[in-house]
Amino acid sequence: MAKETEIVFVDGVRTPFGRAGEKGMFWNTRSDDLVVKAMIGLLERNPTIPRERFDEVAIAATTQTGDQGLTIGRSAALLAGLPTSVPGYAIDRMCAGAMTAVTNVAGGIAFGAYDLTIAGGVEHMGHHPMGSGVDPNPRFLSEKLVDPEALNMGNTAEKLHDRFPHLTKARSDAFALRSQQRATAAYEANNIQPDLIPVATKSEAGWGMATRDEGLRPETTLEGLSGLKTPFRPHGRITAGNASGLNDGATASIIASGDAAREFGLKPKMRMVSFAYAGVEPEIMGIGPIPSTEKALQKAGLSINDIGLFELNEAFAVQVLSLLDHFGIDDEDPRVNQWGGAIAMGHPLASSGVRLMIQLAAQFQQHPEVRYGLTAMCVGLGQGGSVIWENPNYKGAE
C-alpha cells in the first residue's frame, strides 16, 4: 500500500486589500498586476526553489473577464517570470476561489501529479463588480429553483437573521466591532505586515505605496454601528458596518509535498489534514461552512473541540455567528479570528481563502500549544468550504 502523501502550506503572501471604486487605492492598478505582484513577492521569499520545478499555477477569480481573464493562472505565471514550461489555469468558486485553488492542487499532489505548486486568487471589485456581465439562466426563477433574493448576498444574510432570530443585529454589531478592534491590535503588534507585499499605486495626487489594508476603521463604535443604514431592506439588520466591504486584492501561496519541501530546505508553516465542500439552500448561503466543517472534521477523525484556532471569513457577522452557535462556541471566543477578519480587512472575493490560511499559519507559529486549526468560508449560490490544518510547531508533535 502506497504511503500517504504529506501536503504542506509552505508560505503565503498577499497584497494589502483596497476599497473598490474610483476612490480606492487600486483603481488605477490592473487586476492581473495585483496577483503578479503577490506571486513575485512569494517567489522572492523562497529563493531556494528552482522556478522550473513548479508543476502548476492555480489562480482564482470570480469575474473572469478583462484584466481578470485570459486564463489568469497561466498569464500570471508568465508575467511573474516563471519559465514557459510552468502551466497554469483559472478557477471560479466565487468567495472560495483561492481556497479551491489550494485544495485542487493539494489533490494533484496527493495523486502524485505535482510536487510544487502556486495557488491563490485575485479580485478587483472596482473593475469587476460582483455579478457584472453575468446572465443567470431564467429557469432559476421560472422553475423556482431559487428565491430571487438568493442572487443578492446581502439579502441572503438578512434571511439568516430571519431564520435565527436569536442572532440579533446587536450581536452582529458587537462581533463587527471586535473584528475592527482585533485587526487594529494585530497591525499594532506587527502581526499582519510581515506577509503583506507592498504595491505601488497611482492617483491624481501622484504615486504612492499601499502597505496596509485600506478599509480598516479603528474609530468604529457600537453607537456608530447601530445607526448605519440597512440597504437590503427597511429596518433590516445588515449594514456596511457588520458586513465585509467591496475590495480589490490578491493572494498567493506555495503548496507542496512534504518530500519537495524537504528537498529544497523549506520549513512548512502548516500541514493539510482534510478539506470538504458542501451545498446548502442558496437563499441562506451563509450557513454553508457548517456542513462543510462537519464533513472535514469527519474525514479527519476529529471533533470541533480539537480545533484550537479558527479563521472564518467574515462575509457577514451573522454568517460567522450562525456557525459559532451551531458548534456551541461563544461569540467572543479568543480562538476565533484572533487578528480580526474580512469586516475590518476586506473580502476581495476569490482571494480571501488564502488570506485565512496566511493568518492561521502565522498564528500557529505563535501558538505551539495548538495542534489543529480551521479555515472556513461561505460561498455564493449556497456552498461552504472548510480546510483543517495541523501545526508543525505543535509542542506535542513527534
Phi and psi at residue 297, in whole multiples of 5°? -65, -45
CA proximity to 269, closest of 102, 112, 37: 102
Cα(16)–Cα(126) distance, integer angstroms: 15
CB 160 within 8 A of CB 287: yes
Q: How are beta strands 199-203 and 270-279 bridged, if at all?
A: unpaired
Query: Which grid coordinates are listed for 89?
Result: 489555469
CB 5 within 8 A of CB 262: no
* Separation in Å, CA 297 to CA 59, 143, 292, 375: 26, 35, 9, 12
Q: How are beta strands 56-60 and 88-91 bridged, if at all?
A: parallel
Residue 397's CB is within 10 A of a number of other CB atoms, namely 11
Cα(33)–Cα(199) distance, integer angstroms: 9
Which residue is listed with cell 501561496? 253
CA proximity to 41, closest of 348, 252, 267: 252
CB 80 within 8 A of CB 36: yes
Residue 111's CB is within 10 A of a number of other CB atoms, namely 9
Active site residues: 95, 347, 378
